[in-house]
Amino acid sequence: MQIASHQFFFEKEALNYPAGKKAYDLIKKEGRRIEFLPSHNRVTGIPGSVPQEAFFHGKNTIVIGIRRTLDFAGCKPSAHFQLPLVTGCPGMCEYCYLNTQLGKKPYMRLYVNVDEILARAAAYVEARRPEITIFEASATSDPVPGERYTGALARTVEFFADQEHGRLRFVTKFPAIDSLLELDHRRHTRIRFSLNTAKVVDKYEHRTPPLNTRLQALARILKHGFPGGVIIAPVIMNEGWEEEYNELLELIKNYLTGYPDITFEIISHRFTARARSNIMAVFPDTTLPMDESVNRRFKYGQFGYGKYVYTEDKLKSMKRFFEDKISSLMPDAKIEYII
C-alpha cells in the first residue's frame, strides 16, 4: 500500500500561540504542505475508504490545534489526572487501545495552548494541597514524537519543576528526548519507556524504535537526573513467555544498573470485543491472542465497558513471576502495580 508522507492540518487560531507559530514555521521550513481546517474538530481531507487505508493515512496525519476542554479526566492507576498535551501516536502497535478510542483515521493532534492547560493543572494542584498531585501526559498519546514541533513537553517539565505539590509523568517508545536532557526538572518529572520482548516488538509494534534504542534513551534520561521507569505492556502470555520476559528483564538490568530510582508498571494483555473487531479490520493476519475462550475471563473496566482479561490463575502466575524476577535482578526498583 502506498502511503503519502505526513500531512499537516492547522486550526487557524493555533497561530495565535507561540507553540503554534513554532510548529508552523518548522513545517514550512521543511517544505511540507499545510492545510487549514474549516472548523475545530472537523478534520476532512484524510484519504482512505477502507479500514486499512483509513488507518494508515490517519497515522500519517498531524493536526495542530487548541485544546478547548480543560477539565482533566482521571488516570488510574498511574496518576490522579490526565494532562492533555497530545492525543494519538504515530506508532502502529496492533494491540493499542487507541485503535478503538481514536476512530478509523487515528491522526495525531498536538495542542498549542500549553499555558492554558498548565494553568488548569495548577488549579488542580492547588485544590488538593498539601497532597502531591500527579499528572500523566501520555494517557491517550505518546507525546514525544510531536515534541519537535511544539516544545510542549519541555515547557511542561519546566512548569512542574516549580510545582512544590505537582508531579509529571509520561511514557514513550520513542528516543527523541535530547531536548529535555538539560532542563532544570528538579526531579519532578518521571520519564518511563514502554518496553516488551524482542518477539512482541518485532511482531506487533510496527513503526516503533527497536528495544535497545529505547533502553539507550532511558539510560540517557537517568544519567541526566530524571526519575525513570519501565512499563512492560502488554504482557502476552503465550507459550514460553517466562523465558522471553526473563531475557527482557536481564537486558533492562544491564542498561539500568547503577540507577536506583526506577519504577516498574506491568500490564497484562486485554482486549474488548470492539477492539478485536477494529484490529482484525486493520491487521487481518494478526496473531494476537484474542480468543475469549482460551485463558480469558470477562471483566468490567473503570470506564464501564467490558474487556477480556487473563484468568485469575494466569494473572497470579504473572504477578509472582515479575515480583520474583524484578526483586532478584533490581532490588532497588519499585513495582508500582501489576495488573
Alpha-carbon gap, residue 94 to 99, rounded angstroms: 8
**Mean pLDDT across 302-315:** 87
Give pLDDT, residue 157: 98
Give pLDDT, residue 2: 38
Pick the closest to residue 112 from 155, 54, 73, 80 (CA basis): 155
**pLDDT over 90 percentage in the chain:** 88
Pick the closest to residue 45 from 99, 112, 107, 110 (CA basis): 107
Asked whether residue 1 carries a pLDDT value surpassing 50, the answer given is: no
- Domains of the chain, earliest start first: 7-338 (3.80.30.30)
3-class secondary-structure state, position 210? coil
Query: pLDDT confidence of 304, banded at 50, 70, 90?
Result: low
Give pLDDT, residue 101: 78
Average pLDDT, the chain: 94
Give pLDDT, residue 42: 77
Give pLDDT, residue 3: 39
**Mean pLDDT across 78-101:** 92
Asked whether residue 305 carries a pLDDT value surpassing 80, the answer given is: no
**Mean pLDDT across 258-268:** 95
Q: What is the pLDDT of residues 133-185, one digit of tens each?
A: 999 999 999 999 999 999 999 999 999 999 999 999 999 999 999 999 999 99
pTM for the full model? 0.95
Query: pLDDT confidence of 103, banded at 50, 70, 90?
Result: confident
| DSSP string computed for 258-322 | T---EEEEEEE--B-HHHHHHHHHH-TT------TTSSEEEEE-TTS-EEEEE-HHHHHHHHHHH
Asked whether residue 244 carries a pLDDT value surpassing 70, the answer given is: yes
The grid coordinates listed for 50 are 477502507
Query: pLDDT confidence of 44, banded at 50, 70, 90?
Result: confident
**Pick the residue with more confidence: 260 or 8?**
8
**Pick the residue with more confidence: 5 or 102?**
102
- Is the Cα dihedral 226, 321, 141, 164 positive or negative? negative
